[in-house]
Each structure stands twice: as C-alpha cells, then as structure tokens.
Amino acid sequence: MCQIRYDPAFSYSNSSTSSNTKRSLNPVLTRKVEVSAQSDTRVHESNNRCPLHKAGHTLSECRGFQKRPFQDRQRFLREKKICFRCCQSNDHISRNCNVNVKCSIWGNNSHVSSMHIDRSTTTEKTSTPKSNEDNGGELSTETILAICTRLCGNMRVGRSCGKTVLVDVFSGTSPEQSIRVYAIIDDQSNRSLATPDLFDRLGLHDSQKQFVLSSCSGSSTMVGRYASGIRICSIDGQSTFDMPEVIECDSIPSNLHEIPTPDVANAHPHLHSIAPYLPALDPSCKVERLIGRDLPEVHHVTKQILGDK
C-alpha cells in the first residue's frame, strides 16, 4: 500500500487554476440627461443675456448695440429672429408684441432705446442739395420737396384750416389691424411721408435710404425707411387707396388747431351744409401722414363752396 502511494508512476500534477484571478473590466460611464422645451430655452436666453456680447445684460440695455448703425441693428435682429420692438424674445414679431417698452430718448412706446434712430447727424442749410461727387457717387440721394409749413406765434389773424383729414392706415391686406391717424393732403409735396412712430406701429422695418428734404427753411439731408404696400381708408370705409412708396420722416407739421371740425364749419354760414360730414376732433390721434402728389386721386376737388370773401 505504501509502495503504491509513493510510487512516482502515480504522481499527477495539479492543472487547476486559482479562481481568484482578477479580470480586467472596461469602465462604464453614465451621465444625467435633461431635456427642456426649446422655445422656453430660447426665450430665457434672449431675456437675460445679450446675444451680441454674451453678457449679463439684455439687448435692449446694450449700449454697444445702440451705437451700431440702424441698418446693422436691423440685420442682427433679423438674423437672430428677435422682435424688432422689444428686443427680448424670438417667439413673436413686432406686430404681435405685447411687451411694455418705452424709449428713454423719445418717450414713446413703439420701440426700446437701443432701436432709436438718430436722424440729426447731417443737416444742410443750403437751398440746393450737395452733389454726389462729394462722396464718390456711392450714395444715392433723392430730393423730396415738402413745402407745407406753418407759422408759430401769437398772431392775431382769423383761424384757417388746412387739408388735414382723419384716415385709417394699414399694411397689406389687414384692415382689421388699421391705425387711425390724421393725414395732411399737401399738393406742394412730390412724395408721401409718414412718421417713425407710424412705421414702428405698422411693423415696417425696411432698409433705410438717404434723401434731401426741401422746404421754405432750406434743405436738410435726412435718413429714413422706405416702405411699400401701405393702404389708407376713409373712416366711413367708402374709399380705399393704395399708397405709393412711403418715406419715413419726423418733420411732418403737427398742429391740431388747424384741423377742420363741425364747430369751425358752423361758424361760417356758407359752410353749414358740410358740418355734418366733418368728424369731431380726436385728441388721441396725431398727424402722422403727409400725402403728396404721388397719389393724385386724393387731390381731386369735386365741389367748391365760396363765401363772401
């Protein structure tokens, strides 16, 4: 028995390996993923961070943005799809903007201060515009004649009224979004004009051009927006006109005392018959349109009533 136990012929090697051998494991990483609505993220970023400088101020407060040329500011907002009126959000356009804004320079609520236009950069006191040769002929300057003027002061003269009428103005085919303003019918002006406030309220942000405004006080080189597709309608809805190209101008005379009213007509015996056709003075409306000879239909005189003098 002992011989068999210790016989080398019966010696076996242990081929089993230890089960404690460590295996190399590949690391597995997990990351927390949160998904939020895209629209909420866009509005939040636009409201709290300046998209121009990526800083902690809003675009409406950005001084660097305000110093840029107006056309560059428009191009930037258009590329970022940001509202032209509030400069805070890209989920609506200026026509549908309900944000309370105020321009600290003009005090109106049609735009923020960073979208204010400074038009007093160049003024010429000459009777004729400068030649384009001064700037190499690169700048196209159009001469706009607006002879309509008014005299101010305590002048003891009889009251006279101008051809200022109440109209509804709208853009395109949206009469339900019309704006009621006073319009001057000026046959001494070769082009039709509108105030910057009316341009903003209609949501018109077209390109700017330079033009020369000539009046009795001389000629002034100005910069303004040009817009097409504007329509005007009488307040009774009976007459609608398609306006030619309208130019933005902040020098339209505005004097509510020269608007004809029923009281003025009743003060003259020969004008009693037209008093019922004149609307009462609307103090909430401003003179924001000037219609020139480029719309001859509104200059037609169908009936003339003469008095003693």
For the whole model, what pTM was predicted?
A: 0.54
C-alpha span between 276 and 299 (Å, rounded): 21
What pLDDT was estimated at residue 138? 36
Could you tell me the domains of the chain? 40-115 (no CATH), 132-148+160-299 (2.40.70.10)
Q: Dihedrals φ, ψ of 254, to 5°?
A: -130, 105
Q: Distances in Å between the alpha carbon of 6 and those of 3, 12, 13, 237?
A: 5, 12, 14, 126
| 171 or 6: which leads in pLDDT | 171
Tell whether the model's pLDDT for residue 246 goes beyond 90.
yes
Amino acid at 110: S
CB 164 within 8 A of CB 182: yes
Selection from 71, 93, 81, 72 nearest residue 51 by Cα: 81
Tell whether the model's pLDDT for residue 188 goes beyond 80.
yes
Which spans in 30-169 are helix H?
A: 38-48, 63-67, 70-80
What pLDDT was estimated at residue 165? 94
Q: Cα 274 to the chain's mean position, in Å?
A: 38
Tell whether the model's pLDDT for residue 295 goes beyond 90.
yes
Q: How does residue 194 score in pLDDT terms, banded at 50, 70 and 90? A: very high
Amino acid at 262: P
Tell whether the model's pLDDT for residue 281 goes beyond 50.
yes
C-alpha span between 43 and 30 (Å, rounded): 30
Going by the DSSP 8-state scheme, the letter that residue 121 receives in this structure is S
What pLDDT was estimated at residue 154? 43
Q: Cα 235 to the chain's mean position, in Å?
A: 25
What pLDDT was estimated at residue 294? 94
CB 101 within 8 A of CB 85: yes
Q: Tokens 């190209």 — which residue?
A: 245
Sequence-distant (≥ 6) Cβ neighbours of residue 100 within 8 angstroms? 109
Sequence-distant (≥ 6) Cβ neighbours of residue 134 within 8 angstroms? none
C-alpha span between 272 and 287 (Å, rounded): 26
Mean confidence (pLDDT) of the chain: 75
Most confident listed range (6-10, 99-103, 151-155, 274-278) = 274-278
Q: Tokens 């609520």 — which residue?
A: 109
**21-30, 151-160, 164-173, 282-291: lowest mean pLDDT where?**
151-160
DSSP element (H, E) containing 4: helix 2-5
Q: What 3-state DSSP class applies to 137?
A: coil
Kindly state the average pLDDT of the residues 59-71: 82
Q: What 3-state DSSP class applies to 263?
A: helix
CA atoms within 13 A on the CB side of 229: 12
Kindly state the average pLDDT of the residues 285-291: 94
C-alpha span between 193 and 226 (Å, rounded): 9
Which spans in 99-230 are helix H?
A: 196-201
Kindly state the average pLDDT of the residues 146-171: 66
